[in-house]
Structure 1
Amino acid sequence: MTRQSSLDKRPTILLVDDLPDNLYVFTELLRREGYEVIAASNGKKALELLYSHPEQIDLVLSDVMMPEMTGFELCKLIKGDDRICEIPIILITAQLMNEEHAVEGLEGGADDYISRPISPNLLTKKINAVIERKSMADRWREKSRRTQEALEVKEWHTRMLIHDLRNPLTSAMGFLSILAMDDSLSARHRELISKIQNAIQKEAELLEDMLTLIAAREGRLYLELENFNLMDQITEVMFLEEGAAAKKGVIVEKESLVDDLTIYGDRRLIGRVLTNLLDNAIKHAPRGTSIRINAFRNRAHERPYVPHNVEEGWIVCGISNLGSPIPEDSRKKIFEPFVQIPKDSRMSCLLGVGLGLSFCQEIVRLHGGKIGVISPIPGLDQGTIFYFSMAPA
C-alpha cells in the first residue's frame, strides 16, 4: 500500500532503534510499503535529525527500550519543543510491556503505540492513520491562519474607514448645533434638526463600538472598573431608547427579582452592551408587543429561565422579544464578527449589522462574563432572549 502525503510526496519516517538488525528489518518493510526512511541508532541522533530537517520528517517510529535515552524520554523531548512538537510519534513496545507503560507513552505525547511481534499490516494502518490525522490538522491550521489573516486585513480596513468617517460626522454635528441657534427656525425645523442629530449620534456610537471591538481584539482596550448597580444602567438605557421603542410601537418593561445587582465593571461599556441588545430587540419585535428586561441572580428560586452554563449566584441580564425565533444554524455563528443573519420566511429583516453582537461578546468576555442566546423562548414557539452574566461585586 503506497501512501501519498498532502504534498503529493512519499511520507518520510524517522526510524529510531539501537539494534542494527531492527533498523534493517523495519527499513526494508517500510520502504516496501512506499515510505522514505531515515534511520537513527539512538535518541540523541534522532533529535539532531529532527532539528536539522523538521520539515522533511512526517512521523517518528521509535523503539521504547533503548540505552541512554528511552523512547519515552525521546517522546517527551519532542513534544516539549515548539519547533518539532507537531511531528507525530508511534512507540514500539515490548511484547510483555504492561498497560502502565503503554499509558506512560501516550501521556508523554505519543500518538500511538504498537507491540511486538509486529504485524506489517497493522503497522502500516497505524502509520497511515497517524499521518492522515497530522495532515488534517495541518490543513486546519493553515485554514485558520488564512482566516485570521483575512480577518486582520478586514479589521485594518475597517479601522481606516472609521477614522475617515468620524471627521465628517463631527463636522456635521457642529454645523447642526450652529443651525439650531437660529431663532427664526420653526418648531418643525427644530424637530428635524434634533432627529438628524440623534441619527448622527447613533452612527458615531456605532463607529466608536467598532473601534472598541478592534482595540479589544488587539489587546489594547483598558477597562475603567468601578462598582455600580446594573439596574441603574438598565434604567438609563431604557430612557435613551424610548424614542426608538415608541417609533416601532413596542413597550419596554423591566423586572428585577433582587435589590442588589451590583457588579464590578466598566459602566460605559456595559451600557453599550445593554444598548446594543435592547436596540436589536426593538428592531425585531413585532409592533404592539412588549420587550422584557429581566435582571436576576442565577439561583433556582430567583430566575425566570435557566441560562446556559452560568455559575450559580452570578448576576444575569436577559433582554427578550416576541419576534420570530432565530434558526439553529444561525444561533451557532451569531456572535462572530461581520456575520449577518439573512432574510428567510420567518425573519422580517437582517439581524444586526455584523459587529454589534460581536462587540457585546467581546466586552462581556473582558469582564470575565458569558453571553448567549435562547431561541425560541422556553414554553413558547417564538421569541428570543439575549442574555449576559457577570460575577457580583
Structure 2
Amino acid sequence: MLRKVYGQVFETVNVALGFISLTAIAIGAFSTFTGLGLHLITKAGVKTIPEERIESLTTFGMGFCLCGGVGFAGAVVAAASAANFLDAVDKDEEESRTSGNNNCVVFKPSDSVQQEPTDSLYLYQLMNLNGCRTLDGKLIVGRIEDELNRKVIIYDKLDSFDTNMLMEIFDTDCDEDKLIGKAFSSTLSRPRDAARDFIDFHRPQLQFKADFGTDIEKCLGCRNFHGADKVVCGYHPYGWDSSCICPDWQPDKNNQRAYFPYERSEILQRLNQDIEPNRAYLSKNDDGTLTLWDNHTLRRFHFSWAGILLEDSNDSDKLLELGEHARLLSYIQYFAARAVIEFDYSAKIDDESKTVKGYCYY
C-alpha cells in the first residue's frame, strides 16, 4: 500500500516537474527568438537596446531552453518508470487479495503461468474482480489451484462473444451479472480455451433452442441429435420432455466431454432414486457444488461436483458418525439405508383432551 502511495506522490511531483519544464522551454524559446530578432534589427542599423543586453537575453533564453529540455526529458523517463512501477503495484494487488484467516488469494493471468499438458479435470468459474485498474468490473473465467497457505486463481478475460454465448447457455436473461459464480468443467488448462470448448459443446443445441419447446439441453452430446427442420432426432422428433433421462441418448464420439463424478444430471437422478424414499434429495448447483437435503431432520450438506464435503461452507452440516473426510457416496449410502420412523400423535392428543375435558380452571 505504501509503495503505491509513494508511487502516486512521485507521479504527481513528476507531472509538476514536466509542467515547469515545458514552461521553461516556452520562456526560453520566447527569450531566444526575441534576442535574435533584436540582434537582426540592430544589424540593420535600427537602435534598440544595448548589444550586451541583447546577448544576455539570447543566452538566457537558450539556457532556459536547455534546462527545460533536460527537465522534460527527465520527466518523460521518470513518468515511464513511475507508470511501470504503478502497473507492477497494481498487478501485485490484482494477483493477491487477502481473505480472512490470513488465507491469500492470488490472481494470475494464464499468460504468466506455464501450462503443461495433463489429464486433469479442472473446475472453472465465472467471476468479476473489483478494485483493480485493469480488471475492474470485467468478467473473467478462472480456475482455482490450492497451494500452501493460499489459493491461486488462473484467469482469462472474456470477450463480448463468449459472454453472450455463456448467458444463453446458463439462461441468465441477458443479465451479465447473473453469470457470476456459474461453473463448468474442462480438461483444458487455459481458462479461455476451456470456455471456448464449453461453448462449442453447447453450440449445436443453442442454434436450435428457439425452435423447440422442450428442454433441448437433454440432447447435449447425443449422436442422434438432428435439430434441422424443427426435428430433434429420429427417435423423438419433438424432443424428450419427460423428467427422466432420455432412454435413447447415445454419446457422440466426435463431441465428448469429461465430467466430474457427480456433475451429470443422470448420475444424480440415479442417486436420488435410492434416497428419496427416506426423505433425502440431492440437487446440483450451477456454482460447481451439490446440496444434499435431509428433509427429515432439516439438515443440508454441501459437496463439490467431485463428491468432496465442503467443510469451509458455513451453512453445511456434517455427519460425524461417518468420519471427518467422508465423501458423497458414503452419505448417499447412509441416507439410503436409514429408517425414517414417523409418529402420529393425533390419537394421543385426543386422549389427553378427553382427560382434561370438564375440568375448570380458576
TM bucket normalised to smaller? under 0.3
Q: TM-score, normalised by structure 2?
A: 0.24
Q: Which protein is bigger by CA-based radius of gyration? A: 2
